Structure 1
Amino acid sequence: MDLRHLRYFLAVAEEGHFGRAAARLNIVQPALSMQIKALEEELGGALFVRTSRRVELTDAGVLLQIEARRTLEQADHTRLTVERALRGETGRVRVGFAGNAIFSGKLTADLRRFHQRFPDADLTIDEVGPLEQVEAIRAGHLDIGYTPAHSNILGADLTVSRMGDWEMLVALPEDHPLVAHEGLTVDMLAGQPLVLYEAHDVHEHLFMLLTQKLGERCHIAYRAGSTLSTLAIAATGLGLALIPAPLQQVHIPGLVYRPLKEAEFTANLVMIGRAQEASATVNAYFKLVNEADY
């Protein structure tokens, strides 16, 4: 007994006539009669009482009609559930973000677009440091990360998509002497205590540019693990923070922003994930984001 047999049986039971059931199923009547006979032989008894005008269900047939409907409904539900999972319409996407992902609008736009397209998929969103994102993705604890580019994302097991580039700003306390300038140059930062986001370690482009321009006059005083801690350190007067331009939307009392007038100094945002991703839902997220027109 298979699903086809059950569909044939229900058609005859609902139509009460082999000819009409055959037409509904788009098969010839003799073939339908043979299938019903084979089903009755397999189950060991009659399912229909046949008359010259119509066929009626036996007691066993009534019972099979109830169970057949349940079975076919469950089979259809199973098929639809799996099909939706394969299309990425259900499942889970775990997103980590750092840096200017929120303030640039990229992360929120992507999440909103995905939720509108796949409302039944589960989204979890957590602030995770740039270096921790890579570890979490490789360990299977995170699916997608939004982070400034850094050396740890370079690997064949990761996929990297460029999300945007922005000019750099200097965040400094409002009573600092450099506030008098509308824009700052790198030379003005010589000897000043600087605050860098943790992604910019000794191998990163920003740190290398600073040391190249300033040499021994480059003084990295702090490395902060989050956006707010970077700005908080600057606001207390402990150092000047180099930040992406979108972060100027954050208002902190006593903190001001000035553009860094150096063309080669830029901030960026990338989206990272596993190069060999097994989840259809995560792949659907990647596809939707990469096709987006910002």
Structure 2
Amino acid sequence: MTARIFIDGEHGTTGLQIRARLAERRDIELISVPVERRKDPAARAEYLNAADIAILCLPDDAARESVSLIANGSTRIIDASTAHRVADGWTYGFPEMDREQAKAIASARMVANPGCWPQGPIALLRPLIASGLLPADFPVTINGISGYSGGGRSMIEDYESKGEDAPEFLPYGLTLNHKHLPELRTYAGLAGDPVMQPAVGNFAQGMITVVPLQLGHLPRVPKGEELHAAIADHYAALEHGVVEVAPYSASERSSEIQPERYNGTNTMKLHVFANDDRAQALLIAVYDNLGKGASGAAVQNLDLMLSGN
């Protein structure tokens, strides 16, 4: 039987991207609230309960409300908001995080889609902490840049209306209380919150996240090749993952490390650079904030859930 998919919030940035990715598929049926009923709360509840899988592309409070409107025990949920990412009973939707995570997503009823900012650092740090090369209490800092589409419709409109006057590089999160910190700490395996300094660039989509490592204070300082091997081995052991690891090499720059490199794809590419004499390393992830960082991840999770039926 064809699975019925309802995108609650299909007219937002992530919802539109998901709908576009699913539009030509014949193995699913996309169901939508008719235009004349779009402002009717009863219609929203009706379609949420009629769906086999509901994908929530909403602000946090609205996502929680949608979950409360599902009165049956059969509608499965993918929530693209921040609301349920560390909530009990929800499965984290990063299939490559662990060897068994794809299976957990396939059988889950409620899946929390990851945020774009945490995914790269989690992908880089979790294998190192799991392997013992970094302790869980290691002091971590994270920085990077993403396209302005990551800020949703209001930021997109603001940037595009300013044209050439839009800022080329705009740091934010300067209160050091980014909403993704609980998710990042939990799934990277960190004992405490990292210092996170994100920025927005004057381009629509794509992103780079960077984790610098000062390794010299560790009782045993891992070499760059060891860091790379632990990360590469983790992803080599996974089937059907979309996270790739670049070969380890010493280079001043790489044409692959630019934020728009993988736009329109679901690829995440990880890089490890190190100076062993200085006991320093840089871990870098490059991916599309609207692909693997949002809508692409949601479709990947949808396909896993459909395969688990």
TM-score when scaled to structure 2? 0.27
Higher helix share: 1
TM-score when scaled to structure 1? 0.28
Structure with the greater alpha carbon radius of gyration: 1
